[in-house]
């Protein structure tokens, strides 16, 4: 603890009056405080952490944040291009704050009968926050009709990121997709973690034949090309299964192959901890094995495991996206980023409506955020190291 007291954190130096108190606080600074202090210095990781938190908030409150429900469609507004928000409007009195979007006119090409939208600045749809819109049930419990953002007049076609071939709002669908995709990552990693910690722990702690066997298995799994395997296994999921069961089947599949990285990490930590003096001391004192693992070894591994988990989630998200994109992962009516990207599977549809790639942007930002966050966490996970 001396290392902690020799360098007080910045915010305590101003705390002159409560000098004694702050001193005691410094002395008892536990591992998590040290990790937090170290992590806080890592600006980019802090920012990435905020982005990740935002994603999970969106996932949690998807119904409220999305202007429309995931299934709402409008036959008159198919492939509507994104409308950009104009914050001010020019009137006789000058500029006034009036967030709005412009409407579109449809032009039909006489020869090819192709419909194109032309911006029509004479039609103005006001946009507002906390607007009244479609009614929804938040988490299936509370019936509400307020939306974070949307058309100020109920029924106006306001589609900030445009619509797809059925006239569904891409932004809303991406927001709903966030819920599914982010949770697939979380649940999948949760399952992987369970497998990884149990098998990796056993492997690292007992060593010998068990270790050898588990390590061989991991090596075999790691040398397999995952996507063809996933393709093969998920193609076997019956088409008749309900969406929820498909969802769980896919996450189980993802974690069945994804646990190896975490298991390796856990094993490595176990091996190095096993020879630490405090573990040996505990063993010489006659502490029971289980107690040693839970009381002495687990706490010093937790921070590392959290970092590895954060780094494993993006992999899961990417895998789900890829499978669903191919149509052998999650299937409509479930809305995930991968399912949404299925709409953009070939050049022709992208050429007509490039905004269909928006869910892809959501994927990239989410993965980027979690990678940076995980990187920062990994650096901070060992606060005693400088």
Residues at the contact surface with another protein, assessed by CB under 8 A: 6, 216, 219-220, 222-229, 231-233, 235-236, 238, 314, 318, 321-322, 325-328, 341, 344-345, 347, 350-351, 354, 357, 360, 363-365, 367-368, 371-372
Degrees (nearest 5) of the Cα angle 184, 187, 191?
130
Output 266 or 318, the one with its CB closest to another protein.
318
Output 184 or 233, the one with its CB closest to another protein.
233
Output 200 or 359, the one with its CB closest to another protein.
359
Output 157 or 374, the one with its CB closest to another protein.
374
- Tell me the Cα Rg of the chain: 26
Minimal distance in Å, beta carbon 313 to another protein? 12
Minimal distance in Å, beta carbon 113 to another protein? 22
CA distance 231 to 224: 13
Q: Give yes or no for a contact between 3 and 26, defined as CB atoms under 8 angstroms apart.
A: no
Output 166 or 350, the one with its CB closest to another protein.
350
Minimal distance in Å, beta carbon 143 to another protein? 37
Minimal distance in Å, beta carbon 227 to another protein? 4
Length of the chain: 386
Minimal distance in Å, beta carbon 371 to another protein? 6
Minimal distance in Å, beta carbon 125 to another protein? 29
Q: Cβ contacts of residue 236 below 8 Å, gap of 6+? A: none
Count of alpha carbons within 13 Å of 143, Cβ hemisphere only? 1
- In this structure, the number of other CB atoms found within 10 A of the CB of residue 32 comes to 12
- In this structure, the number of other CB atoms found within 10 A of the CB of residue 82 comes to 16
CA distance 200 to 158: 51
Minimal distance in Å, beta carbon 337 to another protein? 10
Which helix (DSSP H) or strand (DSSP E) does residue 233 occupy? helix 226-235
DSSP of 351-382? HH-GGGGHHHHHHHHHHHHHHHHHHHHHHHT-
Minimal distance in Å, beta carbon 341 to another protein? 7
Q: Which two tokens stand for residue 48?
A: 């990435």
Task: Give SS3 for 316.
Answer: helix
- In this structure, the number of other CB atoms found within 10 A of the CB of residue 203 comes to 25
CA distance 198 to 204: 10
DSSP state of 202: H
Output 72 or 371, the one with its CB closest to another protein.
371
Output 150 or 314, the one with its CB closest to another protein.
314
Which helix (DSSP H) or strand (DSSP E) does residue 125 occupy? strand 115-138
């Amino acid at each position: 603890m001396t290392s902690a007291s020799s360098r007080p954190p910045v915010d305590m130096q101003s705390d002159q009056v409560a000098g004694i108190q702050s001193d005691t606080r410094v002395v008892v600074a536990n591992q998590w405080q040290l990790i937090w202090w170290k992590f806080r210095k890592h600006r980019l990781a802090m920012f990435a952490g905020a982005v990740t938190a935002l994603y999970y908030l969106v996932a949690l409150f998807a119904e409220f944040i999305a202007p429309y429900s995931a299934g709402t469609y409008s036959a008159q507004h198919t492939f509507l291009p994104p409308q950009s928000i104009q914050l001010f409007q020019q009137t006789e009195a000058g500029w006034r704050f009036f967030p709005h979007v412009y409407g579109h006119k449809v032009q039909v090409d006489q020869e090819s009968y192709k419909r194109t939208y032309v911006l029509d600045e004479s039609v103005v749809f006001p946009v507002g926050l906390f607007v009244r819109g479609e009614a929804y049930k938040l988490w299936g419990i509370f019936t509400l009709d307020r939306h974070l953002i949307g058309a100020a007049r109920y029924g106006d076609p306001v589609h900030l990121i445009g619509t797809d071939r059925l006239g569904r709002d891409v932004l809303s669908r991406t927001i709903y997709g966030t819920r599914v995709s982010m949770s697939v990552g979380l649940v999948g990693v949760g399952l992987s973690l369970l497998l990884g910690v149990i098998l990796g722990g056993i492997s690292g702690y007992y060593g010998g034949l068990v270790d050898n066997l588990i390590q061989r298995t991991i090596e075999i799994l790691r040398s397999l090309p995952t996507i063809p395997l996933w393709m093969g296994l998920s193609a076997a999921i019956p088409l008749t299964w309900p969406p929820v069961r498909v969802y769980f089947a896919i996450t189980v599949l993802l974690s069945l192959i994804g646990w190896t990285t975490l298991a390796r990490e856990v094993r490595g930590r176990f091996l190095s901890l096993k020879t630490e003096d405090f573990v040996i001391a505990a063993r010489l004192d006659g502490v029971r094995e289980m107690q040693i693992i839970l009381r002495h070894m687990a706490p010093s591994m937790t921070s590392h495991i959290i970092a590895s988990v954060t780094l494993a989630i993006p992999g899961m998200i990417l895998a789900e996206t890829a499978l669903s994109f191919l149509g052998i992962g999650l299937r409509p009516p479930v809305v995930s980023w991968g399912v949404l990207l299925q709409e953009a599977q070939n050049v022709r549809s992208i050429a007509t409506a490039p905004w269909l790639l928006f869910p892809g942007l959501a994927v990239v930002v989410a993965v980027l955020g979690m990678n940076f966050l995980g990187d920062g966490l990994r650096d901070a996970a060992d606060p005693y190291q400088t």
